[in-house]
Amino acid sequence: MLHVKNLKAGYGNQVVLEDVNFEAQPNSIHGILGVNGSGKTTLFRTLNGWLPKQGGALSFEGEKLNPDHLSFLKTKPYFYPFMKGREYLELLKITNTDYVIDQWNEIFELPLDRMAQDYSTGMMKKLALLGILAQDRPILILDEPFSGVDVASNEKFQEIFSRLKKSGKILLLSSHLLQTLTHICDQISLLNNGVIQKTYEQNEFFQLEELIKGEIMTKLDAQLDELLPNQQ
Amino acid sequence: MKGLTKILGLRVKQGYRALTSIGLVLIVIGLPLIAVLSLGIFAQSEKGWYLSMIFFALIYGIHFSRADKEHLIHLGFMPIPVFVLEYFSLAVLLGLLNLFLVGNWMNLLVMVGLSIVVGVSPQVKFESVKNALHFPVNWIPIKAFEWKIGFRKFGWLIIFLIVMGLIFAKHSPAVSLVALILINFTSTSWYKDFEAFELFSIFRGAKNTLSKKIFYQVSLTTLVCIPLYIAFLLFFNDLWYLLLLVVLMGHLVNAFSIFYKYAGYHPSRVKTESDLAVAIFCLCTLVPFFAPVVLVYLWIYFFRAKKNIKQYYAPC
């Protein structure tokens, strides 16, 4: 189990995450929901060790969390210049000899012998996903995995995530689309201003939808009444 | 005028970033030593021709690794005149200094000529040719990915240097040595791009990362340069110690560029802050007088790299 306890993190003197607490079980997909700037990416970077935490504790299966436990799919994947897709995957499969590049690539049919830098946004996302699958780590952090991918690939991504969950992995996933999260997640933590306000179980997702829609619609109605008054 | 101010501002910023990355102590110690070294070069080399060689190596390295062409176009400048003007200014500065100290006006003309030749060298065409004719790199192990990518980009150039070095090897011992120096200086540029964190983490730890990188660098350089070593020893075996020095210098320069890369590595950045530190290190290795500076630089950046890598492997 992944434990995040009283996590405090930020950039220099700027504190972004105040007091983040949640747990994620194996065989589960844990969603992180929050508006832009709520601290999702900071949370993921801290879990991944890119940002030093300023307080709290992170553990996995009773030991301190370390980079070998995690794979991280960034919102905008970055690839080494002039590196081919196949070379990228060959490097990542060094620790996982069971991974067969061409077999996995049959799902997305990427032109692996082309430079990754020349791929479209969606293709880069798919290559990055194949990369984290090649790493075969117990925790997968997926920051906006569906952004930039086409409808068919979106479905494939969801199915892959669902299978990974069944194979015992922990998936931490963020998305701007609430429906995507409610569709595939087992729990969703609502992150607001650097604090997890509440973690919702599947049977409470309707509350989350009502809360989000209620909050947004009340505010939006008031704003639009002023900006676009009804003339009829 | 506005664009010119922007370029100058940009260059000043680059210089400042480079200086801050080197560290105040090294600047205070390093820069006076470089001044002493420069005067030493003039005094030792006949009519200062050595300076032309260093100048050529310097602008050659800058020209083929610079990536500001698009930015210059964005500012409304034609890149080639800017490149020529920058190299020309540097040539005039060094040429006049040489003229003042040694009185060799021909050296000034040679440097100005070199600055124009390098400046107008078709960088764009070179890029497209590189893309179309990438050098085959299947023989390079995947873990040495900097070499794989570097050779893909600069393989033909390296082969050209080796062939030139072999053809003219018997005429002068300097030919093979200069070819070796240029090959080693070229390979330092392969360590300026940062890899994404998932690739960085495959080496599992600071000790392993640095030792593996240096192992691949030394063994692949040796493999590629063997023909030049043999040619040199065939014609000038009495000067074997010069070859040894150049080989050692090449390995030190590349070890430094590896340390420099990992001293500044951050998963959110894509490149090292500046090439200036590596360039200064390269210049320092060219003169034995600077051996202590070279060793101090290596030592400091080795520990900085080790410390920086370690923090990413530390349990949270």
- B267 dihedral zone (left: phi>0; alpha: psi -120 to 50; beta): alpha
Q: Is A88 exposed, middle or buried (0-12, 13-18, 19+ CB in 10 A)?
A: buried
pLDDT at A232: 64
Amino acid letter for position B189: S
Whether B273 contacts B21, CB under 8 Å: yes
Shared domain check, B236 and B114 = no
> Is residue B50 packed enough to be buried (19+ CB in 10 Å), middle (13-18) or exposed (0-12)?
middle
DSSP B75-115: TT--HHHHHHHHHHHHHHHHHHHHHHHH--HHHHHHHHHHH
Calculate the alpha carbon distances from A103 to A108, A110, B128, B223 in Å.
10, 12, 33, 35
Q: Of residues B244 and B71, which shows the higher confidence score?
A: B244
The residues in B 134-173 lying below 8 A from A, measured between CB atoms, are 134, 142-143, 145, 148-149, 152-153
Helices (H), chain A: 40-47, 85-92, 101-108, 121-135, 151-166, 178-184, 205-227
Please say whether the beta carbons of A82 and A117 come within 8 A: yes
Q: Is residue B150 within 8 Å of B118, Cβ to Cβ?
A: no
- Per CB-CB distance under 8 Å, the chain B contacts of A12 are none
Question: The domain containing residue B219 runs over which residues?
Answer: 134-316
Task: Tell me which residue range forms the domain holding A91.
Answer: 2-227
- Please tell me which residue, B116 or A127, carries the higher pLDDT value: A127
Overall average pLDDT of the A118-136 stretch: 94
Whether B92 maps to a domain, the answer reads yes
Dihedral sign from CA coordinates of B210, B212, B213, B215: positive
Range with the poorest average pLDDT among A61-70, A166-175, B9-18, B133-142: B9-18
- B168 part of a folded domain: yes
Task: Decide if A72 and B198 are in contact by the 8 Å CB cutoff.
Answer: yes
In a domain, B152, yes or no: yes
Q: Report how many domains make up chain A.
A: 1
Q: B135: number of CA atoms within 13 Å, CB side?
A: 18
**Of A171, A210, A170, A215, the residue nearest A192 (C-alpha):** A215
Q: Is residue B6 part of a domain?
A: no
Buried b (16+ CB within 10 A) or exposed e, B66-94: eebbeebeebebebbebbbebbbebbeeb
Of B98, B121, B144, which closes a domain?
Answer: B121
A232 inside domain: no
| Residue B314 covered by a domain | yes
Domain boundary among B63, B94, B121: B121
CATH number at residue A209: 3.40.50.300
Residues B164 and B249 grouped into a single domain: yes
Q: What is the pLDDT of residue B228?
A: 94
- Quote the minimal CA–CA distance from B23 to chain A in Å: 21
Q: Interface pTM (ipTM) of the complex?
A: 0.86
- Find tokens 């192992």 and name the residue: B215
Cβ–Cβ under 8 Å, residues A124 and A145: no
Q: Are residues B167 and B82 in the same domain?
A: no
Q: State the average pLDDT for chain A.
A: 90
Cα A45 vs. chain centroid, distance in angstroms? 11
Q: Under an 8 A CB cutoff, do A53 and B199 touch?
A: no
Domain co-membership, B174 together with B100: no
B67 & B92 share domain? yes
In terms of pLDDT, which residue wins out, B99 or A2? A2
**CB-defined contacts A:B, below 8 A:** 76
Cβ–Cβ contact A118 with B under 8 A: no
A94 touches chain B (CB under 8 A): yes
- Of B57, B89, B121, the last residue of a domain is B121
- Looking at the structure of chain B, the number of domains it has is 2
Query: Nearest residue of B to residue A78 by CA position?
Result: B196
| pLDDT value of position A51 | 87
pLDDT recorded at residue A175:
82
Residue A7, classed as helix, strand or coil, is strand
Given pLDDT bands bounded at 50, 70 and 90, which one contains residue B45?
Answer: low
Cβ neighbours of B266 in A, within 8 Å? 50
Q: What is the pLDDT of residue B41?
A: 54
pLDDT tens-digit readout, A33-86: 988 888 888 999 999 888 888 889 999 988 888 888 999 999 999 999 899 999
B148 and B212 share a domain?
Answer: yes
Residue B7 placed within a domain: no
The predicted pLDDT at position A211 comes to 84
Q: Is A85 on the interface with B (CB under 8 A)?
A: no
Interface test with A, best of B189, B269, B271, B316 (most A CBs within 10 A): B316
Query: Do B168 and B92 fall into the same domain?
Result: no
Same domain, B159 and B81: no
Is there a single domain that holds both residue B45 and residue B141?
A: no
How does pLDDT run across B160-205, given as a tens digit for each residue? 889 888 887 887 788 788 888 888 888 888 898 999 999 998 887 7
For A131, the closest chain B residue by CA position comes to: B198
Out of B202, B311, B312, closest to residue A91 by CB = B202
Query: Tell me: the pLDDT tens digits for B220-234?
Result: 999 999 999 999 999
CB of A207 within 8 Å of any CB in chain B? no
Residues on chain A touching B134 (C-beta within 8 angstroms): 82
Q: With cut-offs at 50, 70 and 90, classify the pLDDT of residue A29.
A: very high
Residues B146 and B66 in one domain: no
B15, part of any domain: no
CB count within 10 Å of CB B11 equals 12
Do B146 and B117 sit in the same domain of this protein? no
Gap between the Cα atoms of A119 and A131, Å rounded: 15
Contacts of B147 in chain A (CB under 8 A): none
What tokens does B313 get? 């492997």
Given a cut of 80, whether residue B316 has pLDDT beyond it is no
Q: Is residue B10 part of a domain?
A: no
Calpha distance B59→A113 (Å, rounded): 34
User: Is the per-residue pLDDT at A138 higher than 80?
Assistant: yes
